[in-house]
A and B are shown apart, each in its own frame.
Chain A
Amino acid sequence: MSDPFFPVLVLFAFAAVVVLALLFIAQTVGPKRMTAVKADPFESGNPPQGDARIRFPVHFYLVAMLFLIFDLEVVFLYPWAVSFRRLGVFGLVEMGIFLLIVVIGFIYAWKKGALDLD
């Protein structure tokens, strides 16, 4: 086992097998009495009105983009954090500049209203 990620692969496969087995049991044991009403989407008892593939507010895309920027930036900080003791003050100043740029971007997004939901 030279690869340390081998257990991860095994657990992924094992989890998939367990889920499939339980669903197989459920499908075999459970009743199968499908009706047209059961197959309708649930809309609080009313007959379903139209399709659910509707447009949703653009704000969700904005949140996704902000997440991409800031989460990637957090991932960049991880290697710095691990080797922080070796880098010392030099690393602190260097990453301080990086963080400063990110914080300026954050303040810009805030002032532009990207963080307000409505």
Chain B
Amino acid sequence: MQAFVDSLIQQGYFTGMPTQVVYAIAMIAAAFAVLSFFVAPLAGVTSWLERRVWARMQSRVGPNRVGPQGILQWLADGIKNLLKEDLIPAAADQLLFPLAPYIVFIGFLCTFVVIPFGSNLIVADLDIGILYLLAVTSIVVVGILMAGWSSNNKWSLLGGMRSAAQIVSYEIPAGLAVLSIIFLAGTMSTQGIIKNQGWAPWDWYLFNNPFTFIAFFLYFTAALAEGNRTPFDIPEAESELVAGYVTEYSGMRFLFFFFAEWGNLYVIGAVATILFLGGWQVPAVGDGLIEGVLQFVVFFLKAYLWVFVAMWVRATLPRVRVDQLMALCWKYMVPLSFLCVIGTAAWMVVFPHGNRWASVGMFVLGVVILLLFFGRVRYQIRHSKPELYLRPYI
């Protein structure tokens, strides 16, 4: 981004303007572009796709009225929420209650500073990119705690407290899983981490050694829990807490919470792609423009695959109990992620330049696991009752 603006200035555009002002204008334009042409449609379409995917998995139809296959449903929902009354309960804290959705939304949106879209397409390539990302996503906890406490509602209070306890607990395995990648990369910049990997799967950090393979699943599970997704959505468990910390919210403020939740799914997938799946790496094509487009498509598809997996998990698994949730984090995932950190460090001392055989072996193992998994899925589909199929609607 900065290099692009520098080249424009050198070509003689913006003569007579102070450089700081040019940068500010360029940044605001970039922020506007990212928000309105990428993040907003993405979060909206994700919400629609999620409902369609669940419907498909539960033999229902799902939203299919607004636009082709219902794809404009998110726009209708957004406009509806915009026209709703802005309710603030009389007993709620009049300062903190309206402020909480801002904090959740800003904490989510500011992660897009360090998430790249291609080798040159990034808002800012910070040196401490991953640490910044972890720090900014933790701001969300403050917003959720504020929402839960300030609503002055028992459901909200319980939901907010549970959510805060859950998010801070799962931040530890997530942070340690990320740490094992920083060992290998030797940098925290997101672009730097991607450049250290290759386009081939055996050059990805996922298959670098057995410990990063475990770290990937630890990261994905912990990130789902941090994003309050099923099977870890106890804070919003409809059957026991109404809607958790969003119980008292309505209209636009309600929408901001869910905008952040659906957008956050993409952030989870993007971070997993940056750290473990080779980011935007593509084989050399030669043409700069085609390569740029290819990089964007590859990155987006890799990241969105994990959004789909999150939807799939949500439609498949039942919710866990709150004590099971905390036990899973502290008694299983934290020790396992410590093991990943020590293991990766030891691996790097034994093999300072990596081990190609181990990488290919891990890759083969991953493919075998995937094949066994889909074989199982195929068996389930073959042996399910024919009346459970929903043929005509997709």
Q: Which A residues fall within an 8 A CB radius of B?
A: 1, 4-8, 10-12, 14-16, 18-19, 22-23, 25-27, 29-34, 36, 38-44, 48, 51-54, 56, 59-60, 63-64, 66-67, 70-71, 74-75, 77-78, 81-85, 88-89, 92, 95-96, 99, 103, 106, 110, 115-118
> How far, in whole Å, are A15 and B104 apart by their CA atoms in the complex?
11
Q: Could you list some 16 contacts between A and B, CB below 8 A?
A: A7-B1, A8-B132, A14-B28, A18-B35, A29-B82, A30-B86, A41-B92, A41-B151, A43-B154, A52-B153, A63-B168, A63-B326, A78-B182, A82-B186, A85-B186, A95-B345
Given known contacts A7-B123, A23-B253, A41 and B89 CB-to-CB distance under 8 angstroms: yes
Q: How many residues of B contact A (CB 8 A)?
A: 85
Binary flags per residue of B138-159, CB closer than 8 Å to A gives 1, else 0 = 0000000000000111111110
Interfacial residues of chain B within 264-303, with CB under 8 A of chain A in the complex: none
> How far, in whole Å, are A83 and B187 apart by their CA atoms in the complex?
8
> How far, in whole Å, are A14 and B109 apart by their CA atoms in the complex?
10
A39:B89 contact, CB within 8 angstroms: yes
> How far, in whole Å, are A22 and B40 apart by their CA atoms in the complex?
13
B213 on interface, CB distance cutoff 8 Å:
no
Enumerate chain B residues within 8 angstroms of A31, measured Cβ to Cβ. Answer: 85
Enumerate chain B residues within 8 angstroms of A89, measured Cβ to Cβ. Answer: 349
Q: Which B residues fall within an 8 A CB radius of A?
A: 1-2, 5, 19-20, 23-24, 27-28, 30-32, 35, 81-87, 89-92, 98, 101-102, 105-106, 109-110, 112-113, 123-124, 126-127, 131-132, 151-158, 161, 164-165, 168-169, 171-172, 175-176, 179, 182-183, 186-188, 242, 247-248, 251-253, 256, 322-323, 326-327, 330-331, 334-335, 338, 341-342, 345-346, 348-349, 352
B334:A30 contact, CB within 8 angstroms: no
Given known contacts A41-B89, A52-B151, A12 and B110 CB-to-CB distance under 8 angstroms: yes
Residue of A nearest to B337 (CB): A74
Given known contacts A52-B152, A117-B326, A84 and B348 CB-to-CB distance under 8 angstroms: yes
Q: Which of A5, A11, A59, A116 has the most CB atoms of chain B within a 10 A radius of its CB?
A: A11
B82:A70 contact, CB within 8 angstroms: no
A77:B157 contact, CB within 8 angstroms: no
A8:B124 contact, CB within 8 angstroms: yes
Q: Which of A26, A43, A53 has the most CB atoms of chain B within a 10 A radius of its CB?
A: A26
> How far, in whole Å, are A26 and B168 apart by their CA atoms in the complex?
33
Enumerate chain B residues within 8 angstroms of A96, measured Cβ to Cβ. Answer: 342
> How far, in whole Å, are A11 and B28 apart by their CA atoms in the complex?
7
A1:B2 contact, CB within 8 angstroms: yes
CB distance from A33 to the nearest CB of B (A): 7
Partner of B153, one of A29, A30, A34, A42: A42
Enumerate chain B residues within 8 angstroms of A32, measured Cβ to Cβ. Answer: 85
Enumerate chain B residues within 8 angstroms of A16, measured Cβ to Cβ. Answer: 102, 106
A60:B112 contact, CB within 8 angstroms: no
A26:B86 contact, CB within 8 angstroms: yes
Q: Which of A7, A30, A41 has the most CB atoms of chain B within a 10 A radius of its CB?
A: A7
B126:A5 contact, CB within 8 angstroms: yes
B105:A19 contact, CB within 8 angstroms: yes
B182:A67 contact, CB within 8 angstroms: no
